[in-house]
Chain A
């Protein structure tokens, strides 16, 4: 333990002496203190908090991540090249402890810097809002929509299999001689595609179960995006729409127990609509039933009626406040700390194998691959049922390859929760747990194992002094 602490202390001292660290640290100070004071949003309290979070916090995390990676890449390799490492390895200190000490020193130092910076950014944002001379209405909106952790509830899955079986049974004569599995798969695909496509004069219901609010006066928010005509059409237009919510207190004898709200929304844009929490049916699994009506032609004010297309990933989802802003903020910071742990491990591993410039190049290449793979995974167009639209075999093969690489490589994007914070979305404990288990323990652990193995196997005495 004494050796471990000594290595950690020496790593920190050496890191603080680095010129690159000095420059980046000045930039971090500017990002922490200056950025929140200079960026301006759209003039609303909501915009101010959103842009402060996105810019200040985003840039602070990026800069600290950069210093972490750089110092991790340079520490071990520099000591190997300068023969300083001989002083350590000649002592009764195993190499795995040496690697862990280096990793922990860099990780701990940057985690502290990150948490202090995050605390300052948090305080500055709150201070700017308090001094912003915003109206009560704006502050209420801010607290309900952004300074909060809202959990997203998604609709209960639709029972496509039952419908497919029923359809297959009904049209069995039509499919005589064909493989039932293939026919059913095609029927399912058609059904899924059709389920998000609501023609004028038609409607669709979604049912959400288990919806609970923290307090009695918390509103629910419906978030959705619909497209006019088609998801790939660039000519999106304003569409009339009717949203209905089932009134759980309505008597069973009422033919239409829905309360409607008429809106006009722009196709292709995300929308959020507050609704009362009285729509939760507490006697029926805390259920909320939502209805969308694509109105018939007379509602279109002379415009050509088009179908309303919903993609599964665009909702509708119900957002419910379950945590406060501070709690959500620090959850996001936990993910950022995990990101630092990963970057420190990556840097120490490549540093054990290569010289500083090569180590930095390899580490950056790894991160670029991680980011590119995410882009490659989402690059192909999607059908309305969510399946991928390939142009040919090579397209499909490349996409599958990207998916496999995506499973192996850690993408720092997965650990970035700033955009969730800026939207008031809850950083779920499950997400943190999964990040800890799969990204930190499994993949970062694997990288750490490789780094320790390399350092153990490496012949440190073969470096010839020029």
Chain B
């Protein structure tokens, strides 16, 4: 017994001596490892104890375990057992926290391959979100500066959410916008306030000063601590009204909410307010409730990291993502949120035209004509038509003239503005994606309402007729693909366009427009269509 006790004692003493010695030299060993380039990767940082433990304890065997989990994940996917995939992906990331290629693949697989196996849009959106979360919440946690992860994340925003290739794309856009509306609350656009907001509890205490009894108020409402209050805030997306009233009396509501929202943006969504401000300054007023803006954000962050010559191709892919997303934001990058009818609609964001144009020109200068020329030409055509449709004829003419200065495009832009636009419009409606078609119809409707507001009834009638004709033409064209590409119901489009017109014109004119509108108590609920079976054998 004595022998056993002394053995244990020796073991404990040796354990502590060796532990202390190791901790003393660990920093130096890491520095040597980094300076002498003994490994490709930097030492793992930010890892929770479980990840740090498995990385060290399993050593080389963690690769084998990860391989097994990977095979199981593939098998589960083949068998349609998707419920395990989130857990398996989580374990794989924890076992191989530096293997970002696998993280990107797993995220892409969930967002693209798994999501489309579900028929319900809600289920699909859940899997797209899981893909985003795997990169944003897990992989980026261990590899906070990995540009490849930024690029992959940006790609999901740009392609999966932004494009119309998935039947559920509108659902994704709407749900994402709702999530962002919850995140920003009334602080949308208040970037300076968010930048200055305290980033943790200690700084909030310091900012409030010693006399401020915010914590007493929180305790009186049953919150155990600030973290408990923060959890509840994120559930509600607002400060609970009874707490808000007391904080307001104390004069602390605004700073507390700013701090909470800042922390939510940075810790959960990894959106840095100073970056949002910087990008808005660079590209104009991006709408951060839409996926395109987030694609630009992640591509910009990725591009910043790829500075070596060997990274040219990767930097180009980020540049492409930026100008493609900017072009998409120009076409549908502004959100119209009609709160009373809970309707979200994406419309063109024509104010960012100069920024989009500059991003293409910068890329042209940086790479070569053949890489950028084709995409830039298409953008110029879209820009001229969209600006024209939204009444910005002067700017449209300017862009047309700019297009004409490029030898590459020959006589493509050498036409009078009206002729150019009318030809493009006719072609557009034949092969329009739904955002373009929607923008076209909206612009004519808005023109109609504007003319109505200024007593030009006949002109208004003319615009309305064109809008109706274009709507009908597009509807015929998309017959059979309505689920994916159909425009909103005609009456709904009228309402949205009316609201947009009212927001753009001076208040008295908006009031006048309202008075001049014919009153009709229609309901704007889409009628359910019956599916008739086709004639088959």
- A244: chain B residues at CB < 8 Å are 533
- B304: chain A residues at CB < 8 Å are none
Interface string of A29-41 (1 = CB under 8 A from B): 0000000000111
Closest-by-CB residue of A relative to B85 is: A42
Interface string of B512-537 (1 = CB under 8 A from A): 00000000000000000001011111
CA distance A273 to B116 in the complex (A): 15
Does any Cβ of B come within 8 Å of A362's Cβ?
A: no
Contact of B83 with A50 in the complex, beta carbons under 8 Å = yes
The smallest C-beta distance from B457 to any residue of chain A, in angstroms, reads: 41
Does any Cβ of B come within 8 Å of A186's Cβ?
A: no
CB within 8 Å: A-B pair count? 86
Contact of B537 with A201 in the complex, beta carbons under 8 Å = yes
Contacting residue for B86 out of A43, A270, A299, CB 8 A: A43
Does any Cβ of A come within 8 Å of B484's Cβ?
A: yes
Does any Cβ of B come within 8 Å of A256's Cβ?
A: yes
Does any Cβ of B come within 8 Å of A265's Cβ?
A: yes
Given known contacts A43-B126, A54-B84, A270-B80, is B533 in contact with A242 (CB within 8 Å)? yes
From residue 79 to 111 of chain B, which have CB atoms closer than 8 A to chain A? 79-87, 90
Contact of B83 with A51 in the complex, beta carbons under 8 Å = yes
CA distance A241 to B304 in the complex (A): 46
CA distance A335 to B117 in the complex (A): 32
Closest-by-CB residue of A relative to B116 is: A266
Contact of B80 with A46 in the complex, beta carbons under 8 Å = no
Number of chain A residues close to chain B: CB under 8 A: 42
Contact of B534 with A301 in the complex, beta carbons under 8 Å = no
Contact of B126 with A260 in the complex, beta carbons under 8 Å = no
Contact of B86 with A296 in the complex, beta carbons under 8 Å = no
The smallest C-beta distance from B65 to any residue of chain A, in angstroms, reads: 15
Contacting residue for A42 out of B86, B117, B167, B534, CB 8 A: B86
CA distance A50 to B86 in the complex (A): 12
CA distance A135 to B484 in the complex (A): 29
Contact of B481 with A301 in the complex, beta carbons under 8 Å = yes
Contact of B119 with A293 in the complex, beta carbons under 8 Å = no
- B positions within 8 Å CB-CB of A: 79-87, 90, 116-117, 119, 126-127, 130, 167, 480-481, 483-484, 531, 533-537
Contact of B80 with A202 in the complex, beta carbons under 8 Å = no
From residue 254 to 306 of chain A, which have CB atoms closer than 8 A to chain B? 256, 258, 260-266, 269-271, 273, 293-296, 298-299, 301-302
Contacting residue for A51 out of B79, B84, B119, CB 8 A: B84
CA distance A296 to B537 in the complex (A): 10
CA distance A282 to B531 in the complex (A): 27
CA distance A301 to B484 in the complex (A): 10
Apart from A39-B87, A43-B126, A299-B534, what are 17 other A-B pairs with CB-CB below 8 Å?
A40-B86, A42-B83, A42-B86, A42-B130, A54-B81, A54-B84, A202-B537, A242-B531, A242-B534, A244-B533, A260-B531, A260-B533, A262-B531, A264-B483, A269-B117, A301-B484, A419-B81
Given known contacts A42-B82, A202-B537, A260-B533, is B116 in contact with A238 (CB within 8 Å)? yes
Contact of B533 with A256 in the complex, beta carbons under 8 Å = yes
- B90: chain A residues at CB < 8 Å are 40
CA distance A39 to B480 in the complex (A): 44
CA distance A256 to B537 in the complex (A): 13
Q: What are some 30 contacts across the A-B interface (CB < 8 A)?
A: A40-B86, A40-B87, A41-B83, A41-B84, A42-B82, A42-B86, A43-B126, A50-B81, A50-B83, A202-B537, A203-B537, A225-B80, A256-B533, A262-B531, A265-B117, A266-B116, A266-B117, A269-B80, A270-B79, A271-B117, A273-B119, A293-B533, A294-B536, A298-B480, A298-B534, A299-B480, A299-B534, A301-B480, A301-B481, A302-B481
Closest-by-CB residue of A relative to B86 is: A42
Does any Cβ of B come within 8 Å of A44's Cβ?
A: yes
